[in-house]
Amino acid sequence: MYDVIVIGAGSVGSSTARELSKYKLKTLVLERGHDICSGASKANTGMIHAGYDPLPGTNEAKFNAPGNRLMYKLCDELDVPYQKSGTTIFATDDSGMEELRKLKRFAVENNVEAEIIPYPDLLEKQPDMGSEVKAILWVPEGGVTNPFSVTFALAENAYVNGVEFRLDSEVTGIDRADRMDSGQRSAFPDGANFVVHTKDDAIACRMIVNCAGLYSDVINNMVSDEEFKIIPRFGAHVILDRKLSSKLTTTLMETPHDLPGGGHTKGMAIAPSVGGTMLLGCDATEVKDPDTTEWTMPSVQQIIDYFKKAWPILPLAKECPEFPEDQIIAVFGGCRPHADTNDFVIGEPDDAPGFVNAGGTESPAFASSPAIGEYVAHICIDRLAAEKKDDFNPYRKGKKIFRTMTDDEKQQAISEDPDYARIVCRCEMVTEAEIRDAIRRPLGARSVAGVKLRTRAGMGRCQGGFCSPRVVEILCEELGLNPLEVTQCGGNSQILAAPACSLKAEKEA
């Protein structure tokens, strides 16, 4: 029997698991996907929002600013790169100015440092900003990181500290001991309050933390009569190649506004990524299917059209006068878990003691995830009167990133590990050493997408056109797989159909 079962291994579930791993508890994480980070946590901008915009008094306000501060500490402990480069929100008209003043009021109430700087004083912070900008809200605590790296690192550190993970394990039902008749209850082990069902198992536990993101309503509604509903809100991102990235020193976003093609944005942003590219987006449109990742051309076109129009006033225009459409290398999308309560759903429902929600985790839940994880984990830790472990190790060492090394460091790395001398992904300069490490690590990659998210192999200009075959070979060598078994992202996403000779023979027959 487990003390705690965490449902979902996104940034919130992994952060919860890592906090629980500091204590003498038997903890299990059940994840529906083939890999850690299979939901919203792999589809976001990676902005470490500072907490200036949530409505004061809400859960979003309560967890965002503390989450922001903890995120930098976690990134240091877990060796995950980040940039604390601030967030710059700009206003170009009177309604934008009103929004800036509102955001500043929220920032004060949420205890977040923020300053309105009018034109031309703002040129001290953003020297090349256009004169159409009336003022900016400068938020120094904002930053960016890589949301997959954070989530993988949290899960890995939790695992190394004793938490068990089961992937491909979708929770399909939950039985409550207190709702069973005495005959049924006798089937529960002593002290168990719940039995959690997956297609393969029925697992007893004392407490549950629901971190199922876009399905957090489904999980909650299995257990509690205090129901809520997730309304998935889709957003797309456009990625620009790294040519101009050194010119982008902060995340720039306009004040929140409605979009001409429908939907709303809390600020169309251009954000640097720690991988060196730039992310543009995003829109927010309600959709039915929580698993929607397919973007549509109108949704992407409105991002492009927005930036074509706004480009001349952005500092990047000095270097490149027109929006560089030819630098677009990819588009991706995903859904935010927006709850009909209009807020994060956090804590135990009154009618379900022992069941703890960390749901409704729309933006800024990635930035808030360290604080949400800490809070919900401590509900369990306190209830179960768990003792701290003496041997918890908060640190994790990442593999050195070849692309960011100096020439001397590259020579040194190659002399220590000759696999560093073989570049597999030429666009992103990812070496065989980094790919093998990503597979060999605890909870390592088992698919082509798993390698991509951990190393950036396939994220560059050719989008995996050249490196995917070699990545497949390395996965086969490391995991003892037949090439036909290698998948893009688990399930039925096999990359290869059959050996070419058998296809030829079939055609000739």
List of residues contacting ligand FAD (CB under 6 A): 7-13, 30-33, 38-41, 43-47, 49, 170-171, 211-215, 219, 235, 282, 334-336, 361-367
Select 63 or 402, whichever has its Cβ closest to ligand FAD: 63
Smallest gap from residue 428 Cβ to ligand FAD (A)? 21
Smallest gap from residue 231 Cβ to ligand FAD (A)? 13
Beta strand 430-431 with 423-425 is antiparallel
Smallest gap from residue 201 Cβ to ligand FAD (A)? 12
The sign of the dihedral angle between the CA atoms of 289, 368, 245, 283 is positive
Smallest gap from residue 338 Cβ to ligand FAD (A)? 9
The CA–CA distances, whole Å, from 81 to 44, 147, 400, 403 equal 16, 10, 11, 13
Choice among 49, 197, 257, 338 that is catalytic: 49
User: ω before 442 within 30° of 0 (cis)?
Assistant: no
Helices (H), 311-447: 365-383, 407-416, 432-440
**C-alpha span between 300 and 345 (Å, rounded):** 30
Q: Which amino acid is at 234?
A: F
447: its two tokens? 């698919």
Select 23 or 366, whichever has its Cβ closest to ligand FAD: 366
Longest dimension (CA), the chain: 76
Spell 28-63 as b/e; 16+ CB within 10 A means b: bbbbbbbbbbbbbbbbbbbbbbbbbbbeeeebbbbb
**Using an 8 Å Cβ cutoff, are 45 and 271 in contact?**
yes
Active site residue 257: no
User: ω before 489 within 30° of 0 (cis)?
Assistant: no
Smallest gap from residue 124 Cβ to ligand FAD (A)? 26
- The helix or strand, by DSSP H or E, that contains position 474, with its residue range, turns out to be helix 468-479
Smallest gap from residue 468 Cβ to ligand FAD (A)? 24
Smallest gap from residue 6 Cβ to ligand FAD (A)? 9
Radius of gyration (C-alpha) of the chain in whole angstroms? 24
**Using an 8 Å Cβ cutoff, are 9 and 155 in contact?**
yes
229: its two tokens? 């509903």
**C-alpha span between 459 and 449 (Å, rounded):** 10
Select 315 or 364, whichever has its Cβ closest to ligand FAD: 364
Nearest to 44 by CA among 237, 214, 252: 237
Smallest gap from residue 214 Cβ to ligand FAD (A)? 5
**C-alpha span between 475 and 485 (Å, rounded):** 10
Select 379 or 427, whichever has its Cβ closest to ligand FAD: 379
Select 129 or 203, whichever has its Cβ closest to ligand FAD: 203
Secondary structure letter of residue 111 according to DSSP: T
411: its two tokens? 């020579």
Query: What's the first-to-final CA gap in the chain, in angstroms?
Result: 56
Select 157 or 431, whichever has its Cβ closest to ligand FAD: 157
DSSP lists the bridge partners of residue 337 as 232
Smallest gap from residue 499 Cβ to ligand FAD (A)? 33
Select 82 or 420, whichever has its Cβ closest to ligand FAD: 82
Select 116 or 365, whichever has its Cβ closest to ligand FAD: 365
> CB 303: neighbour CB atoms within 10 A?
24
Select 50 or 192, whichever has its Cβ closest to ligand FAD: 50
Secondary structure letter of residue 132 according to DSSP: T
The CA–CA distances, whole Å, from 151 to 52, 208, 334, 380 equal 24, 20, 16, 21
The catalytic residues are 49
